[in-house]
Amino acid sequence: MRQIFLDTETTGLSPENGDRIIEIACVEMIHRKLTGNNRHIYVNPGRDSHEEALKVHGITSEFLKDKPTFDKIAEDILGYLQGADIIIHNAPFDLGFLDMELAKIGKPKFNTFVASVTDTLVMAKDLYPGKRNSLDALCDRLEVDHSGRTLHGALLDAELLADVFIRLTRGQNVLLMDDSLGTHGKSLNVSAIDLRTFDLPIINPNALELAAHEDVLNQIDKSSKGKTVWRKLPSETCALT
């Protein structure tokens, strides 16, 4: 499984009003391990950043004036991203800018080049409803060190997002299967996963939870007219002994 954590910085908030991408960063992870095969590109947007945006990322027009324009880096970045699962925090924002930049050079929408796009903001809202779920808030909640994030930077944010994602999905074991089957579909290769890398807590039920569980079992036993296996086994075992 090849996953790319992607982040951008822009001149402002609105691609519809002419704002452009000024920085793209991609951090690669394969089978939940960072590979170091990343991409980090500054882009000359051909315009100044809004004052408020400049306060956020600190990337000046002077710094960007000798950087390539988006059309010069598009093929490289799209080739790198081809077919990967893309993970973005607040994906509609970045996708809006990427789709705009691609449209300017006659390319189809971003999602046509990749396998999927996952929005970690949506994931976080499902896991922590009603709470702050910015990247900084998630770093605090999940104990990810973001002390170096004084300004927003695409590469640092993509690296932090990768760490946050691993912690958000900890314990979700996925068997990675080889697509190739034998002629009768009987040969299946499965990649081994070392479960020792996962630190799963053991949470014992309290008295109320045990009582509620027992009540459910009793209801099922009653509906099946006493045919439930978990009720029959103890008595049969005792009879044999």
Backbone angles phi, psi at 174, to 5 degrees: -125, 125
Confidence of residue 72 (pLDDT cuts 50, 70, 90): very high
* pLDDT of residue 234 exceeding 70: no
Q: Cβ contacts of residue 76 below 8 Å, gap of 6+? A: 39, 41
- Which structure tokens are listed for 201? 């807590």
- Which structure tokens are listed for 88? 């973005």
Q: Which are the catalytic amino acids?
A: 152
Ordered by where they begin, the domains of the chain are 2-168 (3.30.420.10), 207-240 (no CATH)
Q: Which residues does residue 86 pair with via DSSP β-bridges, in sequence order?
A: 4, 117
pLDDT confidence of residue 184: 44
pTM strictly above 0.85: no
What rounded mean pLDDT belongs to the chain?
86
Report percent pLDDT > 90 for the chain.
66
Confidence of residue 151 (pLDDT cuts 50, 70, 90): confident
